[in-house]
Amino acid sequence: MSTSTQTSDGKLPTQRAVEVAIRIGLVFLLAAWCFLIVEPFIIPILWGMIIAIASYPLYRWMQVKLGGRGKLAATVFTLVALALLITPTVMLMGTVADTTQALSQGTAGRQPDHPAAAGKRRGMAAHRRRGIGVLERRFRESRCHADYHCSAS
């Protein structure tokens, strides 16, 4: 005679509930992991959708002008879009290369600062910090004299 607390597979309801909870937890963990993998691509995909929707009327216009040839219109549209993206990038890279070359030629004969000069700058920074501390103390003292009721600090 079987008891009414066991299920057909011979497990107690609490054991079955624990197994189900673990499986649900693992499914949520797997879903979260998948989201973390896909997350960096969400914004580029959304921008791609926005650009595709915004440029579709231009593609349709080009398709009509090319006599209804969709493949030719897609090819021309892609080449024009690539030219619009690649041309400024190449120009920018040329400018960066020229600027880097000019910068390297301008600093070719210079030597780095002497360590004593760096120490002198650190000393000046410490002097400025002491000066700021003096100003803060004088400001507190002036407020105390103006209030007439502050305690000595």
The full DSSP string for 88-131 is HHHHHHHHHHHHHHHHHHHTTTPPPPPHHHHHHHHHHHHHHHHH
pLDDT in tens, the chain (153 residues): 445 566 667 778 888 899 999 999 999 999 999 999 999 999 999 999 999 999 999 999 999 999 999 999 999 999 999 999 999 999 999 999 988 888 887 776 666 556 655 556 666 666 666 667 777 777 777 766 555 555 554
Cα–Cα distance measured from residue 19 to residue 73, given in angstroms and rounded to the nearest whole number: 57
Residues 25 and 94 occupy one common structural domain: yes
> Scanning the structure block, which residue is given the tokens 């979260």?
32
Residues 68 and 136 occupy one common structural domain: no
Cα–Cα distance measured from residue 77 to residue 65, given in angstroms and rounded to the nearest whole number: 12
Is-contact 62 79, C-beta < 8 A? Answer: no
Decide if 116 is inside a domain. no
Decide if 113 is inside a domain. no
Residues 125 and 91 occupy one common structural domain: no
Number of domains in the chain: 2
Residues 151 and 95 occupy one common structural domain: no
Q: Which residues form the domain of 143?
A: 121-153
Residues 41 and 96 occupy one common structural domain: yes
Cα–Cα distance measured from residue 151 to residue 106, given in angstroms and rounded to the nearest whole number: 59
Residues 98 and 129 occupy one common structural domain: no
